[in-house]
Amino acid sequence: MECTVSWTGAAGTRSGMGFVAETGSGHVIAMDGAPDAARPEFGGQNLAPRPMETLLAGTGGCTAYDVVLILRRGRHDVRGCSVRLSSERASEDPKVFTAIHMHFTVSGRGVPAAAVERAIQLSHDKYCSASIMLGKTATITTSFEVVEV
């Protein structure tokens, strides 16, 4: 797996904290920092997600992918899956994630809660590389709900 991240800077000034990631699969992700009123040259312009937000979003995508795949392989009639992630970070550098909570909402027809619980557990214990990696610094908790459609 490869990725190239390039600083975009502001045209001609090389200020700002914008970056563009070009992934090995040919996709582009923009990232930016928060504005810094005290030192604008060190802040971003809030034009894209923060790098740590993209890490959290990628983790959500990784685990949701697993959950849907596991449920579909179990021949469950899954119609939708979302996961809302909330996190806490260390107050001092490096400001790693220290706690992450993932709330899954799975919709479908006749999807048993036990199957959803098992899929989430398998993702976090065996398949989701991102959440397993972040679990080295963060306590990860989960909850879920099943919505009949």
Spatial distance between the Cα atoms of 134 and 129, rounded to a whole number of angstroms:
9
Spatial distance between the Cα atoms of 83 and 41, rounded to a whole number of angstroms:
35
Does the pLDDT of residue 121 top 70, yes or no? Answer: yes
What pLDDT was estimated at residue 106? Answer: 98
What pLDDT was estimated at residue 14? Answer: 62
- The total of other beta-carbon atoms located within 10 Å of residue 137's CB is 14
Around 57, how many Cα atoms within 13 Å sit in the side-chain half-sphere? 9
What pLDDT was estimated at residue 118? Answer: 98
Average pLDDT, the chain: 94
Torsion of CA 80, 133, 98, 7, to 10 degrees: -90
96 three-state secondary structure? coil
Identify the band that residue 10 occupies on the pLDDT scale cut at 50, 70 and 90.
low
CA angle (13 as vertex; 10, 17 as ends), nearest 5: 40
Residue type (1 letter), 16: G
